[in-house]
Structures are given as structure tokens and as C-alpha cells.
Amino acid sequence: MSAEATNPEARPDARPELRRRGRTRLDLRRLGRAALLGPTSRDRLPDAIGHVAEAHRAHHPDADLSILRRAYVLAESSHRGQMRKSGEPYITHPLAVTLILAELGAETTTLTASLLHDTVEDTEVTLEQVREEFGDEVCFIVDGVTKVEKIDYGAAAEPETFRKMLVATGNDVRVMSIKLADRLHNMRTLGVMRPDKQARIAKVTRDVLIPLAERLGVQALKTELEDLVFAILHPEEYEHTRALIAAHAGERDPLPAIAESVRVVLREAGIHAEVLVRPRHFVSVHRISRKRGELRGSDFGRLLILVGENADCYGVLGELHTCFTPVVSEFKDFIAVPKFNLYQSLHTAFATSGGHVAEVIVRTRQMHRVAEAGVVALGNPYATAAAVTATAGAAAGSAEACADPYEERVDPTRPGWLSRLLDWQQSAPDPDTFWSVLRAELAQDREITVFRADGGTLGLPGGASCIDAAYAQHGEAAHGCIGARVNGRLTSLTSRLSDGDTVQLLLAHDASSGPSADWLEHAHTPAARIAISSWLKAHPDGAAATTTAARAPLSVVGARGGGGNAVADLPDATVRLAGCCTPVPPDAVAGFVVRGGAVTVHRVQCAAVAQMRSLGRTSVAVHWRATADCRVTLLAESFGRPHLLADLTEAIAREGVEVVSATVEPPVEQRVRHSYTLQLPDATGLPALMRAMRDVPGVYDVSRA
């Protein structure tokens, strides 16, 4: 991207503590000048990208670097004469971006595209030239990171650039890898900008690019971006945190001694492990200080334990929890249940005899590589297994070996959140809507996976409700969703889902059904919110019908009453069937004399039977007449929808059953409870009647009272 930067050496406020420890800072000005000193021999790499080649070979020893030489020659010649605002030759920017990616372990195609990522945007080089020279794969990536023209899009240029980049990332995650490295270098050298422009760029980095780095698992870029943004947007808090770290540097750090104790324990257990002390970065120290107040020496870092195999991770955990006092609340197993951004590790903490609490991360070396570099560490996700094997993972990015990137392809690294972004961005043509919704979506910092009733899965943001699941699974057909079962239990659509839940969504057959305005309060995904808002805008009258105020229960009472065909062994006594359990033949029943001399008949399982006996009520034997007709009260639970009462009474009538009375309670969270007292011509028809009532759309349960 058109980077505007300053020379970090000329900045009196340069912050060396933000640089990675143990790494020599390259003199990019010197490298840039070296790039302009004349032609380079064709049989070797230009001196200016020697550091890139060295870093790349460290991860890919057998990589063919000839394509990098050609890419550098084109980038240097096309950018020749261009200068950054700091006065550095412009070629220093793509070199720095490429070096960042090379150190993360990016494969050759990514580095080639990184060297060329600004050529189409800022020079006379065209995409066709890039395609002819380097192939479709490199061309696609370069196009993906190229900004749209501001002259064409005006104020919408930035949102539309990110939209274009996200769509390209959906086909190739390496597009976003280059963008993140590009932004990191620009943030490192942002001091030449006006303060207001620094703040604007830092806010976009905070709201969009840092969440994207987190979701792609590129922690090495994310943490440095966080610190740089922190210094610009919160200078006072940054200086306070800087002072805390400086004060700690002058004190005795307990972590090295704790690390040595851990090494001894693991060595005696026969576990080969590397135990390192990892200092926390600035934002991490700031968060810990806000959470815990006064910081102790062990709070400024964590122990990182690297092992060879997954089983060794749990072996280390067992030794730590056996030899030290574990802090149980700090244990998290991200190996058995990885995070949505590919992250795997065991997290724990233990207390030492000296009163210190040490936080520990345990992972394999491969997990560590993925934790630091995320999708960058996965190389080329589109290379065939045969190609990867043949090249030892080094030259898998060559343009000639890749399929056409413009064809739709299944990316094995594409996470669920990215698929959701690609889906809803098509429904948000307005750049302002896209921009605001994108930030809101990326603010969701947790991902859950729920299982569908048909065996599939849905990836949703943390806090998602059944409404979000409905639109994720059914699209616009979710307008007719009337309820859900979560883990087999009926629940309202507004219920929040948890990781691992199984959700079954119930759709109405009535085409006129639609969402209510209340759904917007419980919808978290952009796809759901956009779809609901569009429906409500198109059906203003339909929304009012679903949000009417609560009303009194509706009752319909017939003329018949009495005890049906129950007979009490008490002459001339009035017999009544209890409304609490509505016994019918051939239920086992018991009768009790109540006030007025009447006999109330209950099923023997009814809770009222024990209560009657405890009150000393007189028990009376009861039997059924030979006639088959009976009276019963049924409870029907359903989701509210138009014409539901009419459909239920019609279903009852088709079974030849008479409605003695009916009560419909006011809707609660779109659920309605119906109570029917029915006169059946034959008690054996009760199961068929209950099945017929359950078959009415919207009814999810029918039971005896």
C-alpha cells in the first residue's frame, strides 16, 4: 500500500522496547540505497534482499529463490525514483513487508506477491504484466491487496478496499497476510504523519486489522500492532505501563529461577522440553494491571514450555500439577478443543513455595509455529499433497503448480467467521453499512460451534442466539422460524447458544409468518440483522401484528359438565372428574368426598391424592361405566401464529371430538399455552387425537393436564 513513513532512526521518541528482543534491527535506509547502486549479477540475488533470502531459507531450506530475484528486480525498477515521506527509497517498504513474512515462515508465492504488492497500485506495472511474468496465483494475491481508486469511490474507497480484500481473502488467505504485514511496517514508521492522521490509521488498525490478525491466528503481528496502536491512542496509559516495565527491569525477576525449577522437574521425569521465559507485551501488562491491581514480579511474563509430541504436553501438565500447587481456575485445554483461529496449547498456573504464581503455556513446537504465525505457517493451502511432498513444503507456492485462483475453490483454512463475512457482505451494498457492520462483527472476539439436528455444524460468534443459528442455516427461510430445541429441550428463539450445543430449528409452514422487531435485540450476526431489518422494512404491518400487547386469556366454554362415565360407590353422590389430572378410562382412579358431599375423581398418580389423604378426606371406591365415552383435558403448547386456534379446533373436530371448553393464555416469548376440555366418544381414540393436535403447524407438545 502507499506507505507514508518516517526514518525511525531520526525519531527522538523511538521506542526500542517495542522491537522484538534478540533481533537485529535492519537499516532499511542503507538497504534501500544499496538497491539503487546499479545492476545486479543475474546469477545471484541482489544484496538488498539477502536478509529476506536468509530468513526464507531458515523455514524452507530447499526453496527456489529465482522467482524472488525476478520479483525484486521488477519491484526495484518500477519503484525507482519514488521516495517515502521520510526520504527513504520506496523499495524499502516492500522489502520490509517481505522480511516480516519471511521471518514468519511464509512460502515463496507469498513473498513474491509481497515484493510486488504496491507495483500495480503505485507504478506503471499492470496486472497482466504480473500474470505473464509470475502466473495467476501471484497476480491474484497482488490484485487482492491493491486499493481501489479513490477517484472512483471517493469517501467509500477505504470500505470498498476492505470489502475487495475480504472477498479475495475468501479465496486465498495469503491476501490478508500481506495486508497485515504491510500495516505493521506502516505502523512502525508512522511518526511522520500528522497526529490526527496517525489516530485515524490507528483506529482502523484497532477496529479491523487487529481482530483480523487474531482471527487468522497471526499472534506475532497482532501483539506488535496492539502495542503500536496503544502508544498512539492511549499515550498516558502507555507511558504508565512503560514505567511499570522499566521499574520491573531493575528488580529481581523470579521467573528465571522458577523456569529452572521446572527444567529440573521435567528432566527428572524424562520429558525432553525447552522452558523459556516470555515477557508480556505492553498491552498484556496493561490488561493484567487493570485486572489484578498491583503487579508482582511473576506477572510481567509467562513460562513457555515446548515439547515434541501432543502426549508430552499432558505429561508436562501432570508433572507441574504434581510437583507444584496448581491454580485450578487457570487451566484451559486448547489442544483437545482448539480455538477458532487454529490456536492450540495447554494453559495453567501454579503457585511456588515463595508465594509467586507462574502462568504456563505448554505446546509442541509445531503448535508454537502456528500460534505465532497462524495461517502464514500453513503455507500454500491449495497445493496438492503430492506437490507438497515433492517439494518438502518449500516450493508449493510456485505459480505454475497452482490452480486458477479465479475459480471458486474450497479453502481448507477458511474459518467459519470468514464464510459469514463473505455471505453477509453481499447483502450490504451500502459502504457505510458494510463498514459499520464489519467492525461490529470483528468485535466479537469468541467463536462457538453448534451442531445441527441433521448432523452438520454451524460456526457462530460467542453470544449468538437461536435466531442467529436460524439465519445461518436457513437464510431468508428463517423468517418463518417459530421456535427451537436446544439439546432436546424446547427453548425460545432468543436463547443464547453455548459451544457444543445441538440446535433443532422449527419452521412454520405458513408463508405469512415473519420475524418480530424484538428479534433485532437478540440477533448478533450481521446476516441475521440485515435479513430481519429488510423484512421489517418490507412488511411494516406484519411487524405490528407480532408485537401486540398481552391480552386476557380467551375462553370458550361448552354446556356439558359432570363426572363423565365415572361411578362412585356412594349412593346419590355427585361425581366430578378432577381438572388437575382429568382421568379417563382405563386409568386407575381414586375418589374423595369433598365439601357438599360431592366425590372428586383423581388418577392415583395425581399429587392431589396424597394431599387428600393427608387432610383426612374420606376415600371412596370409583369405577368406570361400560360406556366408552370419556372427558379429558389436554394442554397444547405452541408458537404464536395467525389462525392457530382455528387450525387446532379443526383438527379436534376431524377426530369427532366435542370441545367442552377451551382456554388460550396470552403469548409469552411467542409461545402460547392452550387448555382444552374435550368429550371423546371413545377413550381409545385419545392417542390419535393427541397426534392430530401435534401435527398442527406450530404445536410442539400436547399432554394430559
For the annotated catalytic residues, the residue numbers are 121-122
- Coil, strand, or helix at residue 370? helix
Helix H or strand E encompassing 139: helix 136-145
Give me the phi and psi of 139, to 5 degrees please: -60, -45
Peptide bond into 586 cis (omega under 30): yes
Pairwise CA distance, residues 63 & 397, whole Å: 10
Beta bridge partners of 620: 591
Pairwise CA distance, residues 187 & 193, whole Å: 10
Copy the grid coordinates of residue 174: 495469503
Beta bridge partners of 322: none
> Per-residue DSSP letters for 530-545?
HHHHHHHHH-HHHHHH
How many residues does this entry show for the chain? 705
* Of 461, 304, 272, nearest in space to 369 by CA: 304
Q: Specify the long-range contacts of residues 138-141, CB closer than 8 Å, at least 24 apart.
A: 138/71, 138/109, 138/112, 138/113, 138/399, 139/399, 139/405, 140/168, 140/171, 140/172, 140/405, 140/406, 141/109, 141/110, 141/113, 141/117, 141/168, 141/172, 141/174, 141/175, 141/178, 141/405
Radius of gyration of the chain measured on its C-alpha atoms:
35
- Coil, strand, or helix at residue 509? coil
Pairwise CA distance, residues 236 & 515, whole Å: 47
DSSP 205: I
- Greatest extent of the chain over all pairs of C-alpha atoms, in Å: 122
Distance from CA of residue 140 to its chain's centroid? Answer: 27
Give me the phi and psi of 561, to 5 degrees please: -155, -160
Helix H or strand E encompassing 364: strand 357-364
Angle at 89 between CA 87 and CA 90, to 5 degrees: 110
Written as one letter, the residue type at 159 is: P
CA dihedral 140, 142, 144, 146 (to 10 degrees): -150
Quick count: other Cβ atoms within 10 Å of Cβ 694?
A: 15
> How far is CA 273 from each of CA 263, 312, 364, 365, rounded to the nearest angstrom?
8, 9, 9, 10
Pairwise CA distance, residues 398 & 63, whole Å: 10
Copy the grid coordinates of residue 585: 378410562
Give me the phi and psi of 123, to 5 degrees please: -130, -175
Give me the phi and psi of 290, to 5 degrees please: -70, -30
Spell out the SS3 assignment of 651-674: HHHHCCCEEEEEEECCCECCEEEE
C-alpha torsion sign, points 427, 428, 434, 437: negative
Beta bridge partners of 326: 350
Yes or no: say if 678 and 632 are a contact pair by the CB < 8 Å rule: yes
> Per-residue DSSP letters for 378-409?
G--TTS-HHHHHHHTTSSTT-GGGSPPTTS--
